Structure 1
Amino acid sequence: MRFEKLDLNLLVVLDTLLATRSVNRAAEKLFLSQPATSLSLRRLREYFADELLQSVGKTQVLTPLAVELVKPVRDVLLQVQAITRARPSFDPATSVRRFRIESSDYVISVLLSDVVRRAAKLAPLMTFDLRTRGPQTSEHLEGGEIELLISPEFAMVPGHPSEPLFEDGFSCLVCAQQFSERESLTANRYFASAHVGVEWGSGRVVTIDARLIATGSRARRQDVIAPSFTLVPELLVGTARIATLPTRLALQMARRFPLRVLGCPIKIPRFIEQVQWHRHQERDPAITWLRSLLREAALALPAEQSRAARRRRPAKRKPTRTAGNRQG
């Protein structure tokens, strides 16, 4: 089919060529032969009167026109995809959709683990590809490589809809053998102690608390950097180190390891995890259903208050019984 003298089938090839910058890799991704992909590239070059891909040394780079085409071509294909997925009804029990979701492993632990358990009962044929956020996450959402992004507000991708899921604060996680049950943590001890930090991805994405503390007047010494939240407990047990973690995750880890949750002695603002999806998938019934499942799981999250905080709360005093109110 042609539109404005362009064979629309070539748009899929063009999109893949722009993404891979390689005829061979595009052919593999499209399940086409290398000669067929080369022929498509030649036809695209003739239509646009531009090389699109140019050899620079041993690599292929996009021409200025090709760079300008990346986003509109991807948007057109995403809109076509949205049209093909538009259905008057959606049955999760029979759906075979595959959802790709990017978030931190913290969100996977405290929220998505429950979501996939619920989905196993409601939508047994669905599959979930859970990935950790990284430097390319924005491009992944823009390009339709993921269906959902879950992250704090500051990491949202501009131009796409989102909604809040749940709120959390920060607590300190320590080895139970190093800190007594009734011990509190002072700011001086906090900054004098060694810490376990978390940075993930090839671009070394840092956590919210690290970003905020870095702007303050006192430095925090991190002598161990973990590539994920889930490895933190192993690096705390048997040491006097401290980890500053979202409270819900800290409480979860303290139930599984010989660790203790303490109140954070410094003020770190609370944060809200939000879910975001591509603007062209606003009416996708499957994504709408999954968002509702996320909301249900978020509402079912246990309270984030730590046991240590509950112990420090003053007990309510019982009213004194006097001769006038005694019974019997």
Structure 2
Amino acid sequence: MRYNKLDLNQLVVLDALLSTKSVGRAAERLFLSQPATSCSLSRLREYFEDELLIPVGKTQVLTPLAVELIKPVRDVLLQIQTITRARPTFEPATSTRRFTIESSDYVISVFLAEVVRRATRLAPLMQFDLRAISPQTPEHLDSGEAELLIAPEFATVPGHPAEALFEDTFSCLVCANHPNGGTSLTPDQYFEAAHVGVEWGGGRRVTFDARLISTGKRVRRQDVIAPNFTLVPELLIGTSRIATLPSRLAHQMAQRFPVRMLQCPISIPKFAEKVQWHKYQERDPAIAWLRTLLRETALDLPTVETDVASQRPSKPRSPKRRPHAG
């Protein structure tokens, strides 16, 4: 089919060429031969009267026009994808849809694990590809490679709708036999101690609490920086270090590792995790169903644990079964 003399089938090839900047990789993505992909590139060059891809050494770079085409071409294809997926109803019980969701390992631990458990009962054939947030996350959401992003406000992508899911506060976590045997620290003890920090997302994103503390008069001495939240307990055990973590995660870790929660001695505002989706997938019935499941699961989350006095390390236990969603 042609529109304004352009073969619309070539838009898919153009999108692959613009994103991979390689005829070979574009051919692999589209399951085409390299000669066929090269022929498509030739026709696209003729239509746009532009080279689109220019060899520079052993690589190829996009022309200025090609750079300008990336977003509109991707947006058109996403809108077409939404149209082709439109159905009067969505049946989760028989759906084989595969969702790609990007988030931190904190969100996966305290929230998405339960979402996936509920989805297993409601939509047993549905699949989930859970990925860590990375510097490429904005590109992944813009291109539709990731259907959903769950992140705090500062890590969301401009230009796409979002809604709040759940809130959390901050608590401290220390080794079970930490010298401080109480349930809290003084501000001086907190700032004089060595800390385990977390910089996540592949691009060394700092956590919400670290962003706020860095603007104050006193700074934390971070002796160890972990690439994710999951490793923090292992880096605390056998030391006198302190970690500041979202309370939901700190409470969960105190149940699984020989670590203890302490009240955070400094004032850090609570934060909200938001779910975000592409603006052109607003009416995708499958994504709408999954967003509802996310909201329902978030509403059923227990309140943030504030009584840390009774927190003692215990043996790992199986997660409690939650009410049926839907």
Q: TM-score range by the shorter chain?
A: over 0.9
Q: Aligned equivalents of 1:24 and 1:99: distance in 2?
A: 27
Distance 1:166 1:309, change over 3 A: farther
Q: Aligned equivalents of 1:161 and 1:201: distance in 2?
A: 21
- 8 Å contact from structure 2 (residues 183, 309) kept in 1: no
Tell me the residue number matched to 2:199.
199
Q: Aligned equivalents of 1:107 and 1:197: distance in 2?
A: 17
Task: Spell out the pairing of 1:1-328 with structure 2 (5 A cutoff).
Answer: 1-308=1-308
Q: Aligned equivalents of 1:285 and 1:179: distance in 2?
A: 54
Distance 1:167 1:14, change over 3 A: same
> How much has 1:153 moved relative to structure 2?
1.3
Instruction: Using the aligned pairs only, state the percent identity.
Output: 73
Give the secondary-structure state (helix, strand or coil) at the position aligned to 1:307: coil
Q: Aligned equivalents of 1:200 and 1:164: distance in 2?
A: 21
- Matching residue's letter, 1:52: L
> How much has 1:183 moved relative to structure 2?
4.0
- Matching residue's letter, 2:294: L
Q: Aligned equivalents of 2:202 and 2:174: distance in 1?
A: 28
- Matching residue's letter, 1:58: K
Give the secondary-structure state (helix, strand or coil) at the position aligned to 2:27: helix
Q: Aligned equivalents of 1:51 and 1:22: distance in 2?
A: 13
Q: Aligned equivalents of 2:160 and 2:171: distance in 1?
A: 31
Tell me the residue number matched to 2:322.
none
CA radius of gyration, larger in: 1
Q: Aligned equivalents of 1:46 and 1:133: distance in 2?
A: 39
Listed one character per residue, the Cα deviations across residues 215-267 of structure 1 (whole Å, up to 9, x for unaligned) are: 11111111111111011111111110000000000000000011111111111
- 8 Å contact from structure 1 (residues 170, 246) kept in 2: yes
> How many residues were matched structurally?
311
- 8 Å contact from structure 2 (residues 183, 261) kept in 1: no
- Matching residue's letter, 2:92: P
> How much has 1:28 moved relative to structure 2?
0.5
Moved more, 278-287 or 172-181: 172-181
Listed one character per residue, the Cα deviations across residues 156-198 of structure 1 (whole Å, up to 9, x for unaligned) are: 2111111110011100001110145534201101111111111
- Matching residue's letter, 2:90: F
Q: Aligned equivalents of 2:249 and 2:147: distance in 1?
A: 25
- Matching residue's letter, 1:199: E
- Matching residue's letter, 1:110: V
Give the secondary-structure state (helix, strand or coil) at the position aligned to 1:140: helix
> How much has 1:310 moved relative to structure 2?
7.3
Q: Aligned equivalents of 1:179 and 1:299: distance in 2?
A: 38
Q: Aligned equivalents of 2:217 and 2:182: distance in 1?
A: 29
Structure 1 length-normalised TM: 0.93
Listed one character per residue, the Cα deviations across residues 107-144 of structure 1 (whole Å, up to 9, x for unaligned) are: 00000000000011110101100011111111111111
- Matching residue's letter, 1:104: S
Q: Aligned equivalents of 2:211 and 2:184: distance in 1?
A: 24
- Matching residue's letter, 1:216: G
- 8 Å contact from structure 1 (residues 135, 205) kept in 2: no
- 8 Å contact from structure 1 (residues 103, 150) kept in 2: yes
- Matching residue's letter, 2:230: T
Q: Where does structure 1 lack aligned partners over 5 or more consecutive residues?
A: 312-328
Distance 1:294 1:170, change over 3 A: same
Structure 2 length-normalised TM: 0.93
Q: Aligned equivalents of 2:182 and 2:224: distance in 1?
A: 26
Give the secondary-structure state (helix, strand or coil) at the position aligned to 2:275: strand
Q: Aligned equivalents of 1:270 and 1:134: distance in 2?
A: 23
